[in-house]
C-alpha cells in the first residue's frame, strides 16, 4: 500500500509515541498499516546499530500506548534496511524493512537489520504457504502433478513378496521445483492446513488402492501418514470412514502411520485411535525404538503394526549387543501380537539380521526406492519376489 504522511494531530497516540521517540536524524513519519510506521533517517552504517538500540529503548520506556482505541503494550519490533538508490525501488526498501521487523518479532522485542538470506527464506515461506492454500482448495490431487503420491514397497521378509506399500506425499512447485516434505509438512501444520492435506492424501491413496484392487493386483495394505494435527481432531475417525466409503475400499486395506513425537496427550489420542481402530483400519507406530517413551505410548495406543526406527535397524548388524537389543525388541513386539516392520533396510546384512530377529516386513532402498504410482503398478505386476538391489 502507498505510504501516507501522518499528521500527528490527527493520528492515534501510537503515532504520537513514535514521533516523540524518533531519532534526531529521522525525517518525516509515515503510516504503513495498523500500528506500523515507516521512518526514513539519515545515518551511516556504523552508527545505525546504536541509533536503533536507543530508539527501541525510548519506545519501550512508555508501558502502554493506544492503537485504534485499544491500549497495547509498547513492545516495539523495529526493522531497518538501506535505502535503495532508485526512486522506483523505495517500496522494495520498505518491504525489506518490514521483513527485518518480522525477524525482530520472531526473536522478541527489539530491532533487526535487513538480512538478505533471512528475507529470501521469508519470501519462500510466503510463496509456499500461498501455493499450499490454493492447491488445497481442490478436493483431489490435480493431474498437473503439483501434488502426487509415490509408493515404497513393504516386503514380507520370509517370502520376499510385496504385501504392502507406503504412500509418500511429494510436491513439485511450478517455479521452486521439488519441495521436501520436511519443509512443507511443518508449514502445513503451523498454519492449520494439515487436515485438508491429510484428507487429500487419504482420498488419493484410497482411490489408487481401489484401482489396484480392480486390476487384481496383489497388495494387501496401503499405508499413509497422519500428523499431530490429525491426532488432535475428534472427527478423525469420521474423516477416515468417509474417505473409505467414497473410494469403496474395505477398512482392512488401509493403515494409518503416526510417530510418537506427534503425540501430545496419550489419553485423548487413545480415544481417537480407538475410534479409528473400531472401523477396522490398521494403526502403525512409526520410528519405534527401545526407549522408555516409545514403550509408554505402546501401552496406551491400539497399534496393530510397529515400524522400527532406522537407527535401530542400521546398528543391529554391527555388534552382538546391538543385535541382542534388536532381537529383544522384535520378540517383545511380536509377543504383544504386533506386526513388525524394519525401516531403512539398505544392505543384505540389515535384511538378514532383521529376518533372523523375527521381523515380519522390511522397507528400504535395498528392496526398492519409492515409485510413481504407474511405475509401482508395473513393478508389482512383473515382480514375483523382490530382487534385493538398489536400482
CB atoms under 10 Å from CB of 45, counted, come to: 8
Q: Out of 112-121, 144-153, 215-224, 294-303, which region has the weakest mean confidence (pLDDT)?
A: 112-121
State the greatest distance between any 2 C-alpha atoms of the chain, in Å, as a whole number. Answer: 83
DSSP type of residue 251: G
- What pLDDT score was predicted for residue 227? 86
Q: Taking the CA atoms of 273, 274, 280 and 285 in sequence, report the sign of the dihedral they define.
A: positive
Check residue 96 and give its pLDDT: 72
CA distances 20 to 8, 14, 59, 224, 246, Å, are 10, 10, 9, 58, 63
**pLDDT recorded at residue 330:** 94
Determine how β-strand 77-80 pairs with β-strand 282-288: unpaired
pLDDT in tens, 364-376: 999 999 999 999 9
pTM higher than 0.75 for the full model? Answer: no
Would you say residue 289 has pLDDT above 60? yes
pLDDT tens-digit readout, 33-57: 666 666 666 666 567 777 777 777 7
The DSSP line for 59-96 is HHHSSEEEETTEEEE---EEEE-PPPSSGGGHHHHHHH
**Among the listed residues 378, 377, 374, 349, the one whose alpha carbon sits nearest the alpha carbon of residue 364:** 349
Candidates 156, 238, 170, 230; CA nearest to 205 is 170
Q: What is the pLDDT of residues 184-193, one digit of tens each?
A: 888 888 777 8
- pLDDT at position 20, please? 73
Give pLDDT tens digits for 123-163. 788 888 888 887 777 544 554 458 889 999 999 999 999 99
The CA–CA distances, whole Å, from 372 to 153, 166, 279, 331, 389 equal 11, 12, 29, 34, 18
% residues pLDDT > 70 (the chain) = 71
pLDDT in the model for residue 6: 44
Q: How confident is the model at residue 2 (pLDDT cuts 50, 70, 90)?
A: very low
Mean pLDDT of the chain: 80
Q: What is the pLDDT of residues 234-267, one digit of tens each?
A: 899 999 999 999 999 999 999 999 886 655 566 7
Q: pLDDT (tens digit, 9 = 90+) per residue, 69-89?
A: 555 555 677 767 776 555 456
Confidence at residue 391, expressed as pLDDT on a 0 to 100 scale: 38
Q: Is the pLDDT of residue 9 over 60?
A: no
Amino acid at each position: 500500500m502507498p505510504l501516507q504522511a501522518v499528521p500527528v494531530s490527527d493520528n492515534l497516540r501510537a503515532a504520537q509515541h513514535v514521533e516523540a521517540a524518533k531519532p534526531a536524524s529521522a525525517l518525516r513519519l509515515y503510516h504503513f498499516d495498523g500500528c506500523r510506521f515507516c521512518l526514513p533517517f539519515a545515518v551511516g552504517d556504523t552508527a545505525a546499530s546504536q541509533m536503533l538500540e536507543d530508539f527501541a529503548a525510548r519506545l519501550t520506556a512508555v508501558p502502554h500506548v493506544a492503537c485504534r482505541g485499544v491500549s497495547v503494550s509498547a513492545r516495539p519490533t523495529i526493522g531497518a534496511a538501506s535505502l535503495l538508490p532508485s526512486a522506483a525501488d523505495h517500496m522494495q526498501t520498505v518491504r525489506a524493512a518490514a521483513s527485518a521487523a518480522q525477524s525482530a518479532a520472531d526473536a522478541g522485542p527489539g530491532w533487526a537489520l535487513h538480512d538478505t538470506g533471512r528475507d529470501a527464506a521469508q519470501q519462500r515461506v510466503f510463496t509456499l504457504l500461498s501455493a499450499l492454500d490454493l492447491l488445497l482448495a481442490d478436493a483431489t490431487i490435480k493431474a498437473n502433478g503439483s501434488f502426487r503420491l509415490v509408493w515404497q514397497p513393504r516386503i514380507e521378509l520370509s517370502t520376499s513378496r510385496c504385501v504392502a506399500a507406503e504412500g509418500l506425499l511429494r510436491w513439485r512447485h511450478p517455479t521452486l521445483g521439488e519441495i521436501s516434505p520436511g519443509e512443507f509438512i511443518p508449514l502445513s501444520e503451523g498454519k492449520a492446513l494439515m487436515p485438508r492435506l491429510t484428507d487429500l492424501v487419504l482420498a488419493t491413496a484410497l482411490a489408487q488402492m481401489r484401482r489396484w484392487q480392480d486390476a487384481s493386483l496383489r497388495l494387501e495394505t496401503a499405508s499413509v501418514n497422519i500428523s499431530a494435527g490429525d491426532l488432535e481432531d475428534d472427527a478423525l475417525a469420521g474423516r477416515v470412514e468417509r474417505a473409505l466409503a467414497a473410494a469403496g475400499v474395505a477398512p482392512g486395506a488401509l493403515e494409518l502411520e503416526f510417530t510418537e513425537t506427534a503425540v501430545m496427550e496419550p489419553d485423548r489420542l487413545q480415544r481417537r485411535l480407538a475410534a479409528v481402530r473400531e472401523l477396522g483400519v490398521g494403526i502403525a507406530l512409526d520410528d519405534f525404538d527401545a526407549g522408555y517413551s516409545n514403550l509408554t505410548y505402546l501401552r496406551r495406543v491400539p497399534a496393530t503394526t510397529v515400524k522400527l526406527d532406522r537407527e535401530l535397524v542400521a546398528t543391529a548388524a554391527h555388534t552382538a549387543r546391538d543385535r541382542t537389543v534388536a532381537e529383544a525388541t522384535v520378540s517383545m513386539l511380536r509377543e504383544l501380537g504386533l506386526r513388525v516392520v524394519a525401516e531403512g533396510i539398505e544392505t543384505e546384512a540389515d535384511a538378514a539380521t532383521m529376518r533372523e530377529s523375527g521381523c515380519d516386513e522390511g522397507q528400504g532402498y535395498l528392496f526398492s526406492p519409492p515409485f510413481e504410482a504407474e511405475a509401482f503398478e508395473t513393478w508389482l505386476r512383473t515382480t514375483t519376489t523382490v530382487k534385493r538391489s538398489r536400482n
